[in-house]
């Protein structure tokens, strides 16, 4: 499955506003005309933008953007990670047709905070707004969404993870970002984290697109059933959001939990993936 990203930032801002409007009118679903009017767009223009991003009708998509959608996902598309692992999920199960290959930095490299490591960075487009991509010679090491935080905060967050690395702007990054969000081919990840964090991130990679699991299920999967809070912290420290799908981890109650790059982005991701599952 391929997606166009040339207008991704604009589409995401439209969807972000749609979330706010739908939340404000949660007691009564809006018609296409009403929703378009609330967003100061013509019905035809809104329909075009909406369909390009969501792939399903505005009426159906409103169900994915409601606050109750997370609970519905837990009831209908909850993933037991032991089952997912035994099924050998890869490629389409993780992220459309994108096959993820990854390696972790050595403990020594991690402890040195990236000292001696050259990290290229740049900005690209995505269905969820502008994205900051960072990469070493061995693969992508950072992926951050700037729509809620802004560029400066996103870059500061990434730099703080590897404070001793050498950062240089990479001319190849925009094309790399486009390839990632088209979801075709291979993606090499160079993960920088502690052993516990790596275990959590590996578990996250077992959750199929359009499905969810819980923090407690992840804790059980990695052999630390009582470490739910520590799992939540490790999920939040995932350096390559979306590629390692931390947005698919929810609270057992059906609450969204947190999201490092803003809950509107998490809700948009879950809704977008649900619509893709429905559209086939």
Respond yes or no: is residue 141 known to be catalytic.
no
End-to-end CA distance of the chain: 9
Mention every residue, 6+ apart, whose C-beta is less than 8 A from residue 116: 164, 166
Query: Of 200, 201, 211, nearest to 243 (Cα)?
Result: 201
- Please identify which of the residues 165, 200, 246, 249 carries the catalytic annotation: 246
Q: Which residue, chain included where needed, has tokens 């499955």?
A: 1
CA 10 to chain centroid: 17
**Residue 41: both structure tokens together:** 């767009």
Contact 133, 90 (CB under 8 A): no
Which helix or strand (DSSP H or E) is residue 61 part of? helix 58-65
Q: How far apart are CA 218 and CA 162, in angstroms?
A: 26
Query: Of 12, 1, 50, 6, nearest to 177 (Cα)?
Result: 6
Question: How far is it between the farthest Cα atoms of the chain?
Answer: 58
**Residue 100: both structure tokens together:** 């993820």
**Dihedral sign computed on CA atoms, order 56, 271, 61, 13:** negative
Which of the residues are catalytic?
Answer: 246
């Amino acid at each position: 499955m391929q997606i166009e990203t040339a207008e991704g930032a604009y589409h995401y801002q439209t969807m972000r506003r749609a979330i706010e409007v739908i939340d404000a009118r949660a007691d009564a679903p809006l018609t296409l005309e009403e929703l378009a009017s609330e967003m100061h767009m013509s019905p035809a223009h809104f329909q075009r933008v909406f369909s390009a991003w969501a792939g399903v009708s505005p009426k159906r998509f409103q169900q994915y953007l409601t606050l109750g959608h997370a609970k519905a996902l837990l009831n209908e598309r909850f993933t037991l990670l032991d089952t997912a692992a035994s099924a050998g999920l890869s490629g389409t199960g993780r992220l459309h047709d994108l096959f993820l290959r990854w390696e972790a930095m050595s403990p020594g490299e991690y402890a040195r905070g990236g000292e001696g490591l050259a990290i290229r960075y740049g900005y690209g487009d995505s269905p969820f707004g502008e994205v900051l991509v960072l990469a070493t010679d061995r693969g992508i090491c950072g992926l951050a969404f700037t729509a809620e935080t802004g560029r400066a905060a996103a870059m500061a967050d990434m730099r703080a993870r590897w404070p001793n690395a050498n950062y240089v702007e990479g001319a190849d990054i925009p094309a790399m970002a486009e390839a990632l969000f088209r979801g075709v081919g291979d993606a090499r990840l160079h993960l920088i984290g502690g052993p516990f964090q790596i275990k959590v991130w590996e578990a996250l990679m077992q959750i199929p697109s359009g499905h969810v699991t819980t923090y407690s299920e992840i804790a059980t999967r990695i052999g630390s059933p009582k470490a739910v809070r520590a799992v939540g912290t490790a999920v939040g420290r995932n350096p390559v959001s979306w590629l390692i799908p931390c947005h698919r981890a929810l609270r057992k109650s059906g609450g969204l939990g947190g999201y490092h790059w803003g809950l509107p982005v998490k809700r948009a991701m879950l809704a977008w993936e649900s619509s893709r599952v429905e559209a086939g």
